Structure 1
Amino acid sequence: MDRRTFLTGSAILGSAGVLAACSQEGGADNGTPASGVASPAINRNRTRRLRMVTTWPAGFPGLGTAAERVAAHLQALSGGELEVEVFGAGEIVGAFEVFDAVSNGVADMYHGAEYYWQGRSPAFNFFCSVPFGMTAMEIMAWVEFGGGQQLWEELSAQFNIIAFQAGNTGHQMGGWFKSEINTLEDFRGLRMRMPGLGGAVLRELGAAAVALSGGEIYQALQSGSIDATEWVGPWNDLAFGFYREASYYYGPGFHEPGASLAVGMNRGVWDSLPAHQQAMVRAACQAANNQSIAEFTYQNGVALRTLVNDHGVQLRQFSDEIWTRIGEISEDVVADVANGDAMSARVYESYAKARQLSREWGLVSETPYLQKRELVLGR
């Protein structure tokens, strides 16, 4: 079974199918017939224990639990050959320190958002989300079939890491604001939590973009050190209780239309794994990725009702004037990444090509369908 066949099969079958496929793959790699459960050649007395550090609070819904799913899938797939202990942000290292911890071998794996590493290379932004970028399904398509994974592995190898998609929040909201945002002038002087290239767009609008980990946001909003924040969407935002500090909830967001989450593994640890265990890591990440998109899609709908009906949250949208200006700035900010270095230029060019293909298909598929559905069901 070659890599493309394996990955494609696991994507179609979902986590249950992945588990079966990887059990069979394990048998094949050991030169024995696949049993459908586990290879008889596996020595279950030889368990390898790995440590995963994350950028999320331990057990946080959707984000922290995506990391825990990777660990659970990997243990199930390996029949106990591999065990992963998951640590939340701050338990071993801080949220923004997990990349270096894995790169340097302090931890074996991380689960986080790749745009947090833009200080190492701006190209990492594309493997999470960029303003006016790709949706969850579009970024999956690019990484899996448009050359994104190969570029990602080449980029990460510079830092002794190999990384894979392992979650996606879907479309994120525009954020929580203490005051209404009616004009472009309302952004001037605004202090808002927003990392990645979205923060660069805010700065061009005259706002102050602040990078905070998830666990730091509520206190900053409560104390007044920030005036607004984006985080994820209704499900995660409800869990943090942002509605208690900022009553205006804007959506959709421009900055993260499909935020991909990732597992990064120390390259030395990865190279030390036999082929069947490497296949299990890939499959565990892919299963968690698929479940994450489904879970966020459903739970955001449930949480949005709660925010509006039970907590009186006021939903808002940015004006067309704001959207137009943000779009103009976003294109310049994202394109400027290509001017940094040759690797970033290659990633940008590949991403832009895939985004254009997705746009052309979307204009005759999902975009008009969603409009027509609202025309009919919205009456």
Structure 2
Amino acid sequence: MDRRSLIKSAGIAGVLAAGVAPAVHAQAALRWRIASSFPKSLDTIYGAAEVFAQQVKAMSGGKFEITVHAAGELMPAFGVVDGVQQGTVEVAHTAPYYFFGKNECFALGCAIPFGLNSRQMTAWMYEGNGLKLMREFYAKYNMISFPGGNTGAQMGGWYRKEIKTLADIKGLKMRIGGFAGKVLERMGGVPQNIPAGEIYQALEKGTIDAAEWVGPYDDQKLGFNKVAPFYYYPGWWEGGPQLDFFINQKAYDALSAENKAIVENAAAHAHTTMQARYDARNPTALRQLVGAGTKLRPFSDAILGAAFKESMALYADIGAKNPDWAKIYADYSKFRTEQNLWFQFTEARFDRFMQAQKFA
């Protein structure tokens, strides 16, 4: 009797009794943890990790579950890369530029002053060499990366006093994320790297003179308008900062092909959702902030010009010392040139015209 006839005649109980196991394998349930660098109160940026986890669970039919843990629950906000590298957690959701102290190249995976905007960053990652180059670099830290959100261009931060000239930056103690602090320092400022949950207190007490986070929606939640009246724009250091899901390489390699596809697609969904939330929620928040007395101010051309000059000089200095940076930045900067050439004829011109129109 062949196997098919045996199963048909005897039924599953008879097959098992006969010692012939059917080719059915239940996939073992998976339980992972994400360590976030952000507090739960920020439903946009912290929320991207929740979106990712929800999608993984839904696409796996509940067989692959990931719990999300806010900064400080499992490890400090700036300890999440070490956690993934060492295998303490399987996933981190963070802004890569927080870790430029390990190697400046972490900033290239997130945002550098006068870098790519959010659409350009996504294009470099998915259709340029960005994902390939950054993954080669992150492999040195025993992890693989997946784009995990973007805020879009950010605001330039909150200041206790007006910033009219370059002289006003001298000695300015400012909480500024990641790599931008190096440029601020070259301009005479004093950068401070402080997690989101600690910024308000530092600004209120006068420990710092200024602080930037993301934009109106998050900044309103964090209450910065209550302790600093001047709100500057644009955030020249963050034209399109990308967050990442860093996954422990060993944990990722152990996944089935199906679960690897689930992770990739869940991350892409979270990536899109995060920026959509910011773009949808920032306008209302900005109106409310201005209505409550916030004083909007643009950075002067002189300040922007000085910051650009110092940024380009910094990148040249780093490239002379860091071969990883030299390799990745060469590709990044070439892509940026091509993108800006294209955007000046399309998005930039269209946006300028539309913003000049008055709508009822």
Check the 8 A contact 1:183/1:322 in 2, yes or no. yes
Report how many aligned residue pairs link the two structures: 338
Query: 1:339 aligns to what?
Result: 320
239, 242, 246: which is aligned to 2:221?
239
Out of 187, 207, 212, which is 2:169 matched to?
187
Give the partner amino acid of 1:214.
A
Cα pair 2:158 2:210 within 8 Å, conserved = yes
Query: What code does the residue aligned with 2:140 have?
Result: Q
Question: Residue type matched to 1:349 in 2?
Answer: A
Q: C-alpha offsets along residues 91-150 of structure 1, whole Å, 9 cap, x if unaligned?
A: 010000000011001111000000011122111101110101111000000000111111
**1:254 pairs with 2:239:** no
Moved over 4 A (4+): none
Instruction: Name the residue aligned to 2:34.
Output: 52
CA 1:74/1:336 → structure 2, altered by over 3 Å: closer, same or farther? farther
The CA distance in 1 between the partners of 2:261 and 2:317, in whole Å, is 36
Q: TM-score, normalised by structure 2?
A: 0.91
Structure 2 unaligned spans of 5+: 1-23
- Give the SS at the match of 2:154: coil
1:155 paired to 2:122: no
Q: For the Cα contact (< 8 Å) 2:98–2:179, is it kept in 1?
A: no
Cα distance between partner residues in 2 of 1:138 and 1:42: 44
Where do 1:201-220 residues align within 5 Å? 201-220=183-202
Given candidates 268, 278, 282, the residue that maps to 2:264 is 282
Tell me the amino acid that sits aligned with residue 332 of structure 1: A
Task: Tell me how far 1:339 sits from its aligned partner.
Answer: 2.4
Pick from 69, 88, 97: which aligns with 1:115? 97
Q: Is the 8 A contact 1:170 1:259 kept in 2?
A: yes
**Is residue 113 of structure 2 the alignment partner of residue 125 of structure 1?**
no
State which structure, 1 or 2, has the greater radius of gyration over its C-alpha atoms.
2
Contact 1:70 1:288 in 2 (8 A): yes
Take 1:125 and 1:283, find their aligned partners in 2: how far apart are those partners?
24
Residue 338 of structure 1: CA displacement? Answer: 2.1
Deviates more, 1:336-345 or 1:208-217: 336-345
Kindly report which structure 2 residues correspond to 1:95-114, keeping only aligned pairs within 5 A, or say none. 95-114=77-96
Once residues 164 and 113 of structure 2 are traced to their aligned partners in structure 1, the CA distance between those partners, rounded to angstroms, is 20
The alignment partner of 1:163 has SS state of strand
SS in 1 for 2:89: coil
Cα separation, 2, equivalents of 1:115 and 1:100 = 14
Q: Is the 8 A contact 1:130 1:334 kept in 2?
A: no
Say which of 311, 320, 323 aligns to 2:304. 323
What corresponds to 1:312 in structure 2?
Answer: 293
Partners of 1:95 and 1:82 in 2: how far apart?
A: 25
CA distance in 1, matches of 2:134, 2:208: 33
> Is the alpha carbon distance of 1:42 and 1:216 closer, same or farther for their aligned partners in structure 2, counting shifts above 3 Å?
farther
Q: 2:73 aligns with which of 82, 88, 91?
A: 91
Does the 8 Å CA contact 2:177/2:213 hold for their aligned counterparts?
no
Structure 1 segments unaligned to the other structure (5+ residues): 1-40
In the alignment, which residue of structure 2 is the partner of 1:298? 280
Distance 1:108 1:319, change over 3 A: same
Cα deviation for residue 378 of structure 1 reads: 7.4
Letter in 2 for 1:118: F
Q: Report the counterpart of residue 26 of structure 2 in structure 1.
A: 43
Whether the 8 Å contact between 2:154 and 2:234 is mirrored in structure 1 is: yes
SS across alignment from 1:171: coil
Q: Quick check: 1:65 aligned with 2:40?
A: no
Residue matched to 2:14: none
**Alignment-mate amino acid for residue 275 of structure 1:** A
* Structure 1 residue 58, shift from structure 2 partner: 2.4
Asked if 2 retains the 8 angstrom alpha-carbon contact of 1:192 and 1:229, the reply is yes
Report the residue type matching 1:252 in the other structure.
P
Q: Which amino acid aligns with 2:281?
A: Q
Question: 2:254 matched to 1:272?
Answer: yes
SS in 2 for 1:158: helix
For 1:149, the aligned partner's letter is L
C-alpha distance in 2 between matches for 1:59 and 1:104: 28
RMSD (CA atoms): 1.5
For the 8 Å contact 2:177–2:212, the answer to whether it is kept is no
- C-alpha distance in 1 between matches for 2:106 and 2:59: 29
